Amino acid sequence: MNYTKKAFIGVSWTAAGLFMAQVFAYLLRLLLARNLSMEEYGLVYAVIGFFGLVAIFHTLGIGEAITKYVAAALAKKNFVHVKELMIWAAIILYTAATALAVILLFLAQWLADVYIKSPEAAILIKIYVVVMFLSPAYAIISAAFVGYQRLNILALLRVVQAAVLLIAAYVFIQHGAVGVMMSYLLAVLITDVLAFTLFFKDFPRVRFTLKKKTCKKLIAFGLPVMFTSVASVILVSTDTVLVTIFNGLEAVAIYQAALPTANILLFLTGLILTVFMPLVAEIWERKQYKILKTTTPLLYKYAAVLMVLPVIAVIAYADVILNLLFGQAYVPAENILRLLALSSLFHVVNGVSIAVLTGIGKPGEHMKSMLFGALINLILNFALIPTYGPLGAAASTVVSSFIIFVDNLRRVKKQIKIQSPPWTRLSLVILASLIFFLFLRYIIPFASYTKAVLALALTTAF
C-alpha cells in the first residue's frame, strides 16, 4: 500500500473516531453543566485538572516510544520485538502507576482540604486514583495500534470509551460529582478489557526474551517525550490548578465551559499526530527523505487553511455558542473562549511539527520548544491569574502556544531542510475570513442564532 493510500485510510478512520469521541465528550460537558451546580461542575474538573498535572509521572513518554518502535519493527516484520516492547512498557508503566497511586491515596484528604478546599473532593480523588492506575493498559495498546496503523480499531476504542462515559454519567448523575467519577471508572474498565481482547486475539504467538537494552531504549526515547509532556501539562493543566487556588470553583466552572469548546477545534491535531507520526517514522526508516521534504510544507499549509474559518466563527460568536450550549450563567466565559480559539490555531499547525520531529526520532527537539513555551506560560499564569482569573490563563495560553509553534517550525526546517509555507497568502486568507465574519455578525440584519448557524454551515461547507 502506498503512503498516499495509507494516509487517506488513516485520516478517514481517525477523523471518524475523533469526531464521534469529541461529540460524546462535549455532550458529557453539557450534561454535567446542565445537571450539576456550578460549584459541583467546577469541583469535578478541579480534580481532573489536578490529575492532568501528575499524569506524566505514570506515562513517562512510553506511549510515543511504543508507536515509534512498533512501526519500525513492523517495517522489518519483527513480531518478537513488538511483543517484547509491549511487555517492557507494561512493567515500566505499572510500576510507576503503583507508586503514584499509593502516594495520592495517602494525600487525598490533604489535597481536598488544602488545594481544592472542599471535603467532598477526597472521595473524588480516591476514585480517580483507581482510574489512573487502570489507564496504562489502554495507553500501551492504543499506542501499539497506532504503530500497526490499525487506526480503525483505535477509532472504535475512542468512541466506545467516550460513549460509555456519557451513558454512565447520564445514569449516575443523580449521585452528583461522585456519580460522575464512578462513570470515569466504569469507562476505563470497559475500554481496557475491549482493547486487550482486540489486540491479542490475532497477535502471533511468539516466544521472546526480555532484554535490558530494549528497556533502556524505551526509557531513552520516552524521557525527552516525558519532559515534553511536563511542558504540555504546564500548558494544559496548571491554568486550571492555579484558577482553583486563586479564584475558586466557580471560576474553574467558567474556564471549563470555554476550554472544551475551544478544544473541539483541536480535532485536527489528533488527526495529524495519529496518522502522520507513524507514517513519518516509516518513511524515515526507509530513508525516503524526498517524500518527507515535499509533503511537510503542504501539511502546514492545509492545516492552517482548514483551521481559519472555524476559529474565526468561534471568535465572532463566542457569546452565542456559550449561551446556546451551557446557558446564560456561562456567557462570562466568552472572551476566554475567543482567546483559546486563537490558541487552537497555533496548536493545530504545530501538530505537524510534532509529528515530524517525533517520527524522525528527534523528540528532544520538540521537548526544548515545549519547555521554553511552558516556562513562559507558567510565568504568565502566576502573573495574570491572581488578578484576571480565567481570562489571564487564556491569555497566557495564546502567547505560549504561538512561541512554541514558531520555535518548532524553526527546528523542523533545520532537521529536514524544508521550504517555508506560504505565510503571506495564508495571512490574506485569515484577514478575508475575519472581515467576512465581522460583516456577518454586525451588519447583516438576522438574529444572532440565525447568523451563527449560517456561519457554521458555511464553515462546514468550506
Cell, residue 5? 493510500
Would you state the pLDDT for residue 171?
Answer: 96
204 and 316 share a domain?
no
Rounded CA separation 121/361 (Å): 41
345 and 378 share a domain?
yes
pTM: 0.74
Which has the closest alpha carbon to 97: 39, 138, 150, 46? 138
150 and 292 share a domain?
no
Residue 358 is assigned to a structural domain of this protein = yes
328 and 189 share a domain?
no
Contacts of 322 (CB under 8 A, 6+ apart): 257, 258, 261, 330, 331, 333, 334, 337
Cell, residue 105? 491515596
Name the domain boundary from 191, 206, 236. Answer: 236
262 and 230 share a domain?
no
**What is the domain range of residue 222?**
1-236
Would you state the pLDDT for residue 383?
Answer: 95
Would you state the pLDDT for residue 45?
Answer: 92
Q: Which helix (H) or strand (E) holds 225?
A: helix 212-236
Residue 244 is assigned to a structural domain of this protein = no
Cell, residue 422? 506560504
Residue 145 is assigned to a structural domain of this protein = yes
Cell, residue 366? 520538540
Q: Give pLDDT tens digits along the chain (462 positions).
A: 555 555 556 566 666 777 788 889 889 999 999 999 999 999 999 999 888 888 767 677 787 788 778 777 777 777 777 788 888 888 988 998 999 999 999 999 999 998 888 888 999 999 999 999 998 888 888 888 777 777 778 888 889 999 999 999 999 999 999 999 999 999 999 999 998 888 777 666 767 678 888 888 888 887 777 776 677 777 777 898 899 989 989 999 999 999 988 888 887 676 666 667 777 777 777 777 788 788 787 788 778 877 887 888 888 888 888 888 888 899 999 999 999 998 988 888 888 888 888 788 787 787 788 888 988 999 999 999 999 999 999 999 999 999 999 898 888 888 887 766 656 666 666 676 667 666 666 665 555 656 555 555 554 444
Burial class (CB in 10 A: 0-12, 13-18, 19+), 173: middle
155 and 180 share a domain?
yes
Rounded CA separation 375/391 (Å): 19
9 and 60 share a domain?
yes
Would you state the pLDDT for residue 460?
Answer: 46
Contacts of 200 (CB under 8 A, 6+ apart): none
Contacts of 386 (CB under 8 A, 6+ apart): 246, 392
229 and 275 share a domain?
no
Q: What DSSP state is assigned to residue 420?
A: P
Q: How many domains are contained in the chain?
A: 2
Residue 6 is assigned to a structural domain of this protein = yes
Would you state the pLDDT for residue 85?
Answer: 85
Which has the closest alpha carbon to 245: 400, 390, 40? 390
Which sign, positive or negative, has the C-alpha torsion 47, 52, 57, 60?
A: positive
Rounded CA separation 291/173 (Å): 51
Residue 260 is assigned to a structural domain of this protein = yes
Length, in residues, of the chain:
462
160 and 270 share a domain?
no
Cell, residue 96? 510507576
Which has the closest alpha carbon to 363: 219, 223, 216, 217? 223
230 and 282 share a domain?
no
168 and 32 share a domain?
yes
222 and 284 share a domain?
no
Rounded CA separation 104/244 (Å): 18
Residue 242 is assigned to a structural domain of this protein = no
Query: Residue 36 CB: number of other CB atoms within 10 A?
Result: 19
Residue 241 is assigned to a structural domain of this protein = no
Residue 369 is assigned to a structural domain of this protein = yes
Would you state the pLDDT for residue 367?
Answer: 79
Q: What DSSP state is assigned to residue 447?
A: -
Name the domain boundary from 181, 206, 236. Answer: 236
Name the domain boundary from 208, 236, 264. Answer: 236
